[in-house]
Amino acid sequence: MQITSSQLRQKYLDFFRSKNHAIIPSAPLVPENDASVLFNTAGMQPLVPYLLGEKHPMGNRLADVQKCVRTGDIDDVGDDTHCTFFEMLGNWSLGDYFKKGSIEMSWEFLTSLDWLGLDPKMISVTVFEGDENAPRDEESADIWANLGMPRERIAYLPAEDNWWAAGPTGPCGPDTEIFYWVGEGEPQGNKWTHSKEWMEIWNNVFMQFNKKADGTLESLPAQNVDTGMGLERTLAVINGKKTVYNTDLFENTIEHIKRIVGESHFNERGARIIADHLRTAVHMISDGVKPSNTDRGYVLRRLIRRAIREAHKMGHEDACLAQVARDFIHIYQDVYESVRNNETVIIDEITMEEAKFQKTIKHWIKEYFKMLDEKNKNLEFSQIIPEGMLLGDFLETNPHILKGEEAFYLFETYGLPIEMIIELSQESGMKVDVEWFSQSMQTHQDLSRTASAGMFKGWLADHSDVTISLHTACHLMLAGLRKVLGEHVMQAGSNITPERLRFDFTHPEKMTPEQIQAVEDYVNGALKAHITVTMTEEPKDNAKARGVLGAFWEKYPETVKVYKMVGDDGVTYSEELCGGPHVEESSKMGTFKIQKEEASSAGVRRIKAVLQ
């Protein structure tokens, strides 16, 4: 069957409408009431409150097409299946049907000649093999078998593959995943996950549990179903393609990029990366994100800059991204109002960001060269890089080691993301001393930032005693906030100067005066107990398993630093993952006072506090 992306969206919604599902619109990419994630990374994210038990106004059976962004696999983009933006076709049961209903409907939609009509012989599935949290999912396996799925095409896999959770806490459960054969000849093998020849197209999650902050599972009020079918991947397999880049969502753009860079310079993977990143940028901007050095804006900036780099690598150094962005505006304007209404903003932002980076990257080369050879300091840019020479070629002929402090200087001075510095350097045979760089970062930053989430965790303005004391106070305060308000409180950002600490954290409502007082009391109680601060290094998994507080675990090295604050009363007032620095003991810290508590953004509160 040949089918377009628009037809597939339509068929999916029509099918679930015929099964009594209410069709709900896609939520924006930027979560409206959830400060713990930068973007919706799954179709279920906007529905979390309903999966946890709140009543949905549209009923117990819902279906939609949800825009999602995942940048965790950014290095895989350009292979056959990975994209940073994707649309997830989803259907939900909120305490209505469960495993049987869900699997039977998926099977019908995929294989019935009235719907997608895919060949059942090309399909395989996985189910949960069981562990201490939930039993081996024989129920799902039997349902599949009854539908005609041969037993040898049903693989039982561990939680790593077949347990789905949106994040460290929240609704979760075992799942069954559906794969389609895209290899040559007859379908083969018995382990579909992580195989290039079996493409995962649909994931049906049986959401029965809520994972709490302490790591334990509690049963949800209802047994829910959350399914997510990747539009891009499904479109590819229905049309007999091996890659999502060969579908109507990308095909013309890849050809367009070929015309822009010229056939002889063209590189398929590079073109896919440009297309993917621009498509994501178009949607991000359409939902209100602007390039910047923090949070969402940083992710967007990084995507645009990576796309520019790919164009450079193909020898194309003139501005070209707006042309590519227009292709995607054309494709999505009929699907998403946000794209239709924001054409000018999208093009302007991309054009400006591209121009800015073209300038930055030239500075970078110049600064880099200066670092290599002090005597070139006074040379003009054109004297350093011969006229007409491509930046990429220049880099290739100048392989050197880029020291951590140099990388750090480039980061600080020009805002060049470390990933970009590393990528540029690797491409040209240079090495970056990443370890030194991280140390520089850690002494300058309160915590770490995540590259994939792109979230900066704030800075210590200097290393004066008072700034370091305020940093220690931040840890105590976070522990106090979690004690007083609850374990949903997570750090969302911080900034510390000698004058005050500023601290953002997730919490849905204004704190009462009593709560503020209780948090102050907690911190001052710790100070009265003369806390001593100890730092230990331990394997990340250990710290995580022990329940040490921290965000963005995935971005920490295998060995992490944990700061523990214990009073002379033997109480542990705080234990948190951190890069430091902190005071050794609290005798000179004074008294802690919260000066202001206000809204920072949706679901995020901001405290300003001092030590006096």
How many Å apart are CA 278 and CA 162, to the nearest integer? 32
Residue among 205 and 496 whose Cβ is closer to ligand SER: 205
Binding of residue 43 to ligand SER (CB under 6 A) = yes
Rg of the chain (C-alpha set): 26
Instruction: Pick the piece of the chain touching ligand SER (CB under 6 A) from 36-44, 248-256, 278-286, 567-575.
Output: 36-44
Instruction: Pick the piece of the chain touching ligand SER (CB under 6 A) from 225-233, 395-403, 543-551, 563-571.
Output: 225-233
How many Å apart are CA 63 and CA 28, to the nearest integer? 16
SS3 category, 92: strand
Residue among 172 and 304 whose Cβ is closer to ligand SER: 172
Binding of residue 174 to ligand SER (CB under 6 A) = no
Instruction: Pick the piece of the chain touching ligand SER (CB under 6 A) from 222-230, 320-328, 462-470, 551-559.
Output: 222-230
Residue 391 and residue 311 in contact, taking contact as beta carbons nearer than 8 Å: no
SS3 category, 593: strand
Residue 47 and residue 85 in contact, taking contact as beta carbons nearer than 8 Å: no
| Intra-chain end-to-end CA distance of the chain, in Å | 72
Instruction: Pick the piece of the chain touching ligand SER (CB under 6 A) from 1-9, 38-46, 272-280, 314-322.
Output: 38-46
Q: C-beta of 606: minimal distance to ligand SER in Å?
A: 31
Geometric angle at alpha carbon 544, from 539 and 545, rounded to 5°? 100
Interacting residues with ligand SER between 194 and 213 (CB under 6 A)? 203, 205
HEC string of 131-153 equals: CCCCCCCHHHHHHHHHCCCCHHH
Which helix H or strand E contains 367, and what residues bound it? helix 343-372
Helix locations, 19-178, DSSP H: 48-51, 99-111, 138-146, 159-162
Binding of residue 227 to ligand SER (CB under 6 A) = yes
Q: C-beta of 205: minimal distance to ligand SER in Å?
A: 5
How many Å apart are CA 594 and CA 515, to the nearest integer? 11
Residue among 210 and 469 whose Cβ is closer to ligand SER: 210
Which helix H or strand E contains 422, and what residues bound it? helix 418-427
Q: C-beta of 418: minimal distance to ligand SER in Å?
A: 29
Give the residue, chosen from 228, 270, 458, 493, that forms a contact with ligand SER under the rule CB under 6 A: 228
Binding of residue 44 to ligand SER (CB under 6 A) = yes
How many Å apart are CA 432 and CA 450, to the nearest integer? 18
Q: C-beta of 115: minimal distance to ligand SER in Å?
A: 19
Question: x/- string (CB under 6 A) for ligand SER, residues 84-123?
Answer: ------x---------------------------------
Binding of residue 164 to ligand SER (CB under 6 A) = yes
Residue among 42 and 477 whose Cβ is closer to ligand SER: 42
Applying CB under 6 A, the site for ligand SER has a residue count of: 10
How many Å apart are CA 75 and CA 83, to the nearest integer? 10
Q: C-beta of 162: minimal distance to ligand SER in Å?
A: 11
How many Å apart are CA 196 and CA 573, to the nearest integer? 49
Q: In the bound complex, which residue of the shown chain has the CB atom lying closest to ligand SER?
A: 228
- For binding to ligand SER (CB under 6 A), which residues are involved? 42-44, 90, 164, 203, 205, 226-228
